């Protein structure tokens, strides 16, 4: 089959961007190429944001914040509601753009946009619930309470694999909290970012004059723009999603200026399959978690610990899922695994498989598949049966490689699971209540996400999302994650005529 001509996919991208409200000048004749991993075709060339423009955008975001912080929170929630409406109307087009730019299958592209809609609705409700505590005080006729105030412009740096959802997790919450937002998306997925910015601007226009200019800004370009956000004292919080290497560079720079960081970094997620597990449920969960998004989720399943007694029964099913899964053009019906993002991702996958092979592992899959010419990188997901957790297994390789190991006792499995530098997501498959509770207890999984009888990937927005150790410790989306986007003031108020000092100190003047 001859590869699809580049113009076909590029023209589709242009038509989508037009419908999504992006002006053509934003993606014509610039210096930043946007490619589709589906065929490797060039979709457009974007104009990059200059350093001066980035600095001006931060200045404008600061000015916008000074106005926005005084707009009542439920009114701020109304803007986010309108954004949710725009996303609902544009869901199919934006999801298609996600598919073209990342290579996600159609259902996962739609799921990513649905997640944006969900967080908008969540944030709108939250806009009436940004509540503080009233606290007991040791002093007579005093009242003590805490108040949550808007924080300032929030920098958002995002990765290629969730090119739009990560922005919305941060922006929807930040906006209801009274903050402005400056977004530096991945240089690998700038077109979806342009589309989201256009949808936000539509929502802001409908909202009216309460939304100041520059409330949400977009910086198009490489890591140097991210570095500007990280270094600028006008940006009190940076939420950065990407590799641990990125976090290692960003974290100390934020700390040096006492800024806050929400670091959402790499994972090396595991599942433990216990003897009592429902194997039918387990193998389907493993298939989605390990092969979905071509292994390019931060929560992708990368390590599987299988009890010796059920190893063969489970692995027969897993292997059959691996051989039957359809790898191909993610736009096609029936395809479950699309392409890797680029040649570098393919190279990293092959290097990891070579290292596993050298350490004696048995590998099935992992080879390149010819789908759409030389510039697109499709692979058969790899199963690597290995005896020990080598250094290679302990690293995150952002590709569909599942390392499979046997275990005999739950203690051993939990130890192995936790014995990696990362701490994002984890799960156990068991029908044994003691095992399930042990896994979720203080002596169980050390990850930010720990599940029972569902895989480690595919988190809901209602919970706080993030991980421990080298995953960075950040939390975003639901639960009380909003607190990171606000500053807390403790207020003590004296309505009496005396001036009692705390701790009984006397200071009579």
For the bound state, the minimum distance from the C-beta of residue 334 to ligand NAD, rounded and expressed in Å, comes to: 27
CA separation for the pair 204, 122 (Å, rounded):
19
For the bound state, the minimum distance from the C-beta of residue 401 to ligand NAD, rounded and expressed in Å, comes to: 14
Active-site position among 264, 396, 470, 476? 264
Residue of 183, 213, 197, 224 whose CA lies nearest to 51? 224
* Cα separations in angstroms, 470 against 248, 252, 401: 9, 13, 20
Q: Does 228 bind ligand NAD (CB under 6 A)?
A: no
For the bound state, the minimum distance from the C-beta of residue 275 to ligand NAD, rounded and expressed in Å, comes to: 31
Region from 58-66, 132-140, 261-269, 401-409 binding ligand NAD, contact rule CB under 6 A:
261-269
CA separation for the pair 481, 206 (Å, rounded):
28
Cβ-based nearer residue to ligand NAD, 243 or 453: 243
**Which string of x and - marks every residue 468-507 that binds ligand NAD (by CB under 6 A)?**
---x------------------------------------
For the bound state, the minimum distance from the C-beta of residue 229 to ligand NAD, rounded and expressed in Å, comes to: 7
CA separation for the pair 238, 156 (Å, rounded):
6
| Three-state secondary-structure class, residue 11 | helix
For the bound state, the minimum distance from the C-beta of residue 84 to ligand NAD, rounded and expressed in Å, comes to: 21
For the bound state, the minimum distance from the C-beta of residue 476 to ligand NAD, rounded and expressed in Å, comes to: 8
Q: Is 264 a catalytic residue?
A: yes
Report how many residues bind ligand NAD under the rule CB under 6 A: 29
Q: Does 78 bind ligand NAD (CB under 6 A)?
A: no
For the bound state, the minimum distance from the C-beta of residue 169 to ligand NAD, rounded and expressed in Å, comes to: 9
For the bound state, the minimum distance from the C-beta of residue 230 to ligand NAD, rounded and expressed in Å, comes to: 5
If residue 451 lies in a helix (H) or strand (E), which one and from where to where? strand 449-452
Q: Let me know: does 203 contact 226? Beta carbons within 8 Å.
A: no
Q: Let me know: does 141 contact 494? Beta carbons within 8 Å.
A: yes
Q: Does 93 bind ligand NAD (CB under 6 A)?
A: no
CA separation for the pair 293, 295 (Å, rounded):
5
Q: Does 268 bind ligand NAD (CB under 6 A)?
A: no
Among 19, 223, 317, 395, binds ligand NAD (CB under 6 A): 223
Contacts of 497 (CB under 8 A, 6+ apart): 141
Cβ-based nearer residue to ligand NAD, 156 or 314: 156
Q: Let me know: does 157 contact 184? Beta carbons within 8 Å.
A: yes
CA separation for the pair 280, 332 (Å, rounded):
27
Contacts of 459 (CB under 8 A, 6+ apart): 299, 425, 449, 465, 477
Cβ-based nearer residue to ligand NAD, 77 or 400: 400
Paired tokens of 474: 């950040």
Region from 34-42, 100-108, 130-138, 159-167 binding ligand NAD, contact rule CB under 6 A:
159-167
Among 241, 269, 417, 427, binds ligand NAD (CB under 6 A): 241
Q: Identify the burial level of 276 via C-beta atoms within 10 angstroms of its C-beta, where 0-12 means exposed, 13-18 middle and 19 or more buried.
A: middle
Region from 48-56, 143-151, 171-179, 264-272 binding ligand NAD, contact rule CB under 6 A:
264-272
- In our burial notation (b when 16+ CB lie closer than 10 A, e otherwise), range 180-207 reads bbbbbbbbbbbbbbbbbbbbbbbbbeeb
For the bound state, the minimum distance from the C-beta of residue 110 to ligand NAD, rounded and expressed in Å, comes to: 18
Q: Does 377 bind ligand NAD (CB under 6 A)?
A: no
Cβ-based nearer residue to ligand NAD, 78 or 108: 108
If residue 183 lies in a helix (H) or strand (E), which one and from where to where? strand 181-184
Q: Is 7 a catalytic residue?
A: no
Paired tokens of 366: 């992992």
CA separation for the pair 443, 451 (Å, rounded):
15
Strand extents, DSSP E, 208-249 = 216-218, 237-241
**Which string of x and - marks every residue 181-220 that binds ligand NAD (by CB under 6 A)?**
---x-xx---------------------------------
CA separation for the pair 176, 127 (Å, rounded):
5
Active-site position among 112, 298, 385, 396? 298
Dihedral sign (CA 475, 479, 484, 485): positive
Cβ-based nearer residue to ligand NAD, 290 or 410: 290
* Cα separations in angstroms, 158 against 12, 24, 259, 264: 25, 23, 18, 9
Q: Does 157 bind ligand NAD (CB under 6 A)?
A: yes
Region from 17-25, 97-105, 210-218, 259-267 binding ligand NAD, contact rule CB under 6 A:
259-267
Cβ-based nearer residue to ligand NAD, 438 or 471: 471
Q: Does 222 bind ligand NAD (CB under 6 A)?
A: yes
Which of the residues are catalytic?
264, 298
Question: Contact positions toward ligand NAD, by CB under 6 A?
Answer: 157-162, 184, 186-187, 222-223, 226-227, 230, 241-243, 246, 249-250, 264-267, 298, 396, 398, 424, 471
């Amino acid at each position: 089959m001859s590869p699809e001509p580049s113009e076909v996919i590029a023209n589709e991208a242009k038509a989508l961007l037009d419908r999504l409200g992006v002006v053509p000048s934003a993606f014509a004749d610039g210096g930043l190429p946007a490619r589709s991993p589906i065929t490797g075709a060039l979709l457009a060339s974007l104009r990059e944001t200059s350093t001066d423009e980035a600095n001006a955008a931060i200045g404008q975001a600061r000015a916008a914040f000074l106005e926005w912080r005084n707009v009542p929170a439920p009114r701020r929630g109304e803007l986010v509601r309108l954004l949710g409406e725009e996303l609902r109307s544009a869901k199919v087009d934006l999801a298609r753009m996600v598919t073209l730019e990342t290579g996600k299958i159609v259902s996962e592209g739609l799921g990513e946009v649905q997640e944006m809609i969900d967080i908008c609705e969540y944030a709108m409700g939250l806009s009436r619930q940004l509540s503080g505590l009233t606290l007991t005080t040791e002093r007579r006729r005093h009242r003590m309470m805490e108040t949550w105030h808007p924080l300032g412009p929030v920098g958002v740096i995002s990765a290629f694999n969730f090119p739009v959802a990560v922005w919305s997790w941060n922006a929807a919450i930040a906006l209801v909290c009274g903050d402005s937002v400056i977004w530096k998306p991945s240089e690998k997925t700038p077109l979806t970012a342009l589309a989201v910015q256009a949808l936000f601007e539509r929502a802001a226009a409908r909202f009216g004059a309460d939304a100041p200019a520059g409330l949400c800004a977009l910086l198009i370009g490489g890591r140097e723009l991210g570095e500007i956000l990280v270094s600028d004292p006008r940006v009190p919080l940076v939420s950065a999603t990407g590799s641990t290497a990125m976090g290692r560079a960003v974290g100390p720079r934020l700390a040096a200026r006492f800024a806050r960081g929400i670091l959402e970094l790499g994972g090396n997620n595991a599942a433990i399959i216990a003897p009592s597990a429902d194997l039918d449920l387990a193998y389907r969960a493993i298939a989605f978690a390990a092969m979905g998004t071509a292994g390019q989720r931060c929560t992708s399943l990368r390590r599987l610990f299988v009890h010796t007694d059920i190893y063969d029964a489970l692995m027969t099913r897993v292997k059959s899922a691996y051989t039957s899964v359809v790898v191909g053009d993610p736009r096609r019906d029936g395809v479950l695994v699309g392409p890797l993002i680029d040649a570098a991702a393919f190279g990293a996958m092959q290097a990891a498989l070579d290292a596993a092979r050298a350490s004696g592992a048995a590998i099935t899959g992992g080879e390149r598949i010819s789908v759409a010419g030389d510039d697109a990188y499709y692979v058969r997901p790899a199963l690597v049966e290995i005896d020990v957790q080598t250094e290679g297994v302990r690293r995150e390789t952002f590709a569909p490689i599942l390392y499979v190991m046997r275990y005999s006792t739950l203690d051993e499995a939990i130890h192995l699971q936790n014995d990696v530098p990362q701490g994002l997501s984890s799960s156990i498959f068991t029908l044994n209540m003691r095992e399930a509770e042990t896994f979720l207890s203080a002596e169980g999984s050390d990850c930010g996400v720990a599940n029972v009888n569902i895989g480690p990937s595919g988190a809901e927005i209602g919970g706080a999302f993030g991980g421990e150790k080298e995953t960075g410790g950040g939390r975003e989306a639901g639960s009380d994650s909003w607190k990171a986007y606000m500053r807390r003031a403790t207020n003590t108020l004296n309505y009496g005529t005396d001036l009692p000092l705390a701790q009984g100190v006397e200071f009579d003047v």
